[in-house]
């Protein structure tokens, strides 16, 4: 029985693919955003990495659920279960004591009021006493060390699992932005479809994700090309085992359409950018964050396309979470970023 309470300040990057929690200035949780539920009892079986290992392999009594889709909550109850479970991973004391939580959670810049309210309510049901929301691009800007209050303009492109956020910021606010649902999950789907069309074999989402990590690229002619990745699958007609070697050239080809759509969105945001801020962006370059920034050749492709330097920030996977943690620690300095 939980009788005592203590205060716990946490910053959370609640992502479609992964959830990262920062507490006391360090990353304490970095787990896939997925839960496994027993269909019979409705109880939690596993979450995070353990549930991800079950994804696509579970029997009918276990259902694996990804609570977020395209950056927004798709399953309210699963999101609450995920948040509660990940908070318990922070500190063993949470098993015996009830923490009073103060949370800062980042959300896509294109989130509607209804979507933002769903995130807030899920966090409150999971034990959040004070819940603040911050837009992902602003958190990313803080995380990579930019002065978001300066009159100088900066462009941030955050390519996560569910959304791609293209944002111009200045004076502590968002000047113009586009939020696309073309991101990591779409890239994974592109790879699955390509392998099926090209080799007539079916692969699961986990395998496609691994292909993306091992040989994911958006440019042909890399200076340090990765080795081909061997994929095992079954022929849908004969069920015979098939083994194919996938190269980064093939992945670059199959991702080309999605990357082109991101390029079009970047151009649209540039057209909306005021001239003075556009001049700042040319001087500073454009910052790439999120897991999608790790696609081989992305920075060079975009630099060649727009004739503006595109820079992959240090540790792009954790840039948003790092910024959220800084805002949590210095809330009095960033009240204009939170809602």
pLDDT tens, 69-85?
Answer: 888 888 888 888 898 88
Q: Which residues contact 211 (CB under 8 A, 6 or more apart)?
A: 191, 195, 203, 229, 231, 246, 251
Q: Residue 24 — very low, low, confident or very high, per pLDDT cuts 50/70/90?
A: confident
Residue 157: its pLDDT value, please?
Answer: 97
Specify whether the CB–CB gap between 64 and 33 falls below 8 A: no
Q: Residue 95 — very low, low, confident or very high, per pLDDT cuts 50/70/90?
A: low
Question: Which is more confident, 292 or 7?
Answer: 292
Q: Residue 4 — very low, low, confident or very high, per pLDDT cuts 50/70/90?
A: low
**What number is the average pLDDT over the span 254-274?**
96
The C-alpha atoms of residue 327 and residue 146 are separated, in whole angstroms, by 13
- Report the chain's mean pLDDT, rounded to a whole number: 89
Residue 88: its pLDDT value, please?
Answer: 84
Residue 1: its pLDDT value, please?
Answer: 44
Residue 235: its pLDDT value, please?
Answer: 76
**What number is the average pLDDT over the span 202-209?**
90
Specify whether the CB–CB gap between 99 and 70 falls below 8 A: no
**What number is the average pLDDT over the span 211-222?**
93
Among residues 123, 62, 72, 87, the alpha carbon closest in space to that of 8 is found at 87
Question: Which is more confident, 90 or 261?
Answer: 261
**What number is the average pLDDT over the span 183-209?**
92
- Of 5-9, 115-119, 241-245, 314-318, the one with minimum mean pLDDT is 5-9
Q: Which residues contact 44 (CB under 8 A, 6 or more apart)?
A: 35, 36, 37, 38, 81, 85
Q: Residue 96 — very low, low, confident or very high, per pLDDT cuts 50/70/90?
A: low
Residue 325 has pLDDT above 70, yes or no: yes
**What number is the average pLDDT over the span 42-56?**
89
Residue 253 has pLDDT above 50, yes or no: yes
Residue 321 has pLDDT above 80, yes or no: yes
Residue 92: its pLDDT value, please?
Answer: 57
The C-alpha atoms of residue 216 and residue 246 are separated, in whole angstroms, by 10
Residue 332: its pLDDT value, please?
Answer: 86
Residue 312 has pLDDT above 70, yes or no: yes
Residue 178 has pLDDT above 90, yes or no: yes
Question: Which is more confident, 129 or 144?
Answer: 144
Measure Cα distances from 276 to 91, 249, 267, 273, 282 in Å: 48, 39, 17, 8, 10
pTM above 0.85, yes or no: yes
Percentage with pLDDT > 90 across the chain:
59
């Amino acid at each position: 029985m939980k009788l005592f309470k203590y205060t716990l300040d946490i910053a959370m990057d609640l992502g479609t693919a992964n959830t990262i929690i920062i507490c006391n200035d360090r990353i304490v949780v970095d787990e896939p955003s997925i839960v496994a539920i027993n269909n019979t009892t409705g109880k939690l079986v596993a979450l995070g990495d353990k549930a991800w290992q079950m994804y696509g392999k579970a029997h009918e009594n276990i259902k694996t659920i990804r609570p977020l889709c395209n950056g927004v909550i798709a399953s309210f109850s699963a999101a609450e279960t995920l948040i509660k479970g990940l908070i318990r991973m922070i500190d063993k004391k949470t098993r015996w004591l009830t923490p009073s939580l103060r949370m800062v959670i980042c959300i896509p810049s294109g989130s509607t009021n209804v979507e933002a309210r769903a995130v807030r309510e899920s966090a409150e049901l999971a034990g959040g006493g004070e819940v603040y929301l911050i837009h992902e691009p602003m958190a990313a800007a803080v995380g990579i060390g930019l002065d978001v209050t300066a009159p100088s303009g900066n462009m941030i492109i955050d390519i996560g699992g569910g959304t791609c956020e293209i944002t111009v910021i200045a004076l502590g606010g968002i000047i113009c932005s586009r939020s696309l649902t073309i991101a990591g999950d779409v890239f994974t789907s592109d790879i699955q479809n390509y392998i099926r069309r090209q080799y007539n074999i079916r692969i699961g989402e986990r395998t496609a994700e691994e292909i993306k990590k091992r040989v994911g690229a958006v440019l042909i002619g890399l200076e340090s090309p990765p080795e081909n990745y061997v994929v095992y699958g079954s022929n849908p007609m004969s069920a015979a085992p098939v083994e194919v070697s996938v190269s980064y050239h093939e992945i670059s080809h199959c991702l080309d359409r999605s990357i082109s759509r991101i390029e079009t969105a970047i151009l649209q945001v540039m057209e909306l950018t005021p001239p003075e801020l556009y001049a700042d962006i040319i001087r500073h370059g454009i910052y790439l964050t999120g897991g999608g920034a790790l696609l081989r050749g992305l920075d060079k492709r975009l630099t060649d396309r727009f004739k503006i330097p595109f820079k992959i920030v240090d540790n792009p996977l954790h840039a948003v979470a790092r910024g959220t943690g800084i805002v949590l620690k210095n809330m009095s300095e960033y009240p204009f970023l939170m809602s």
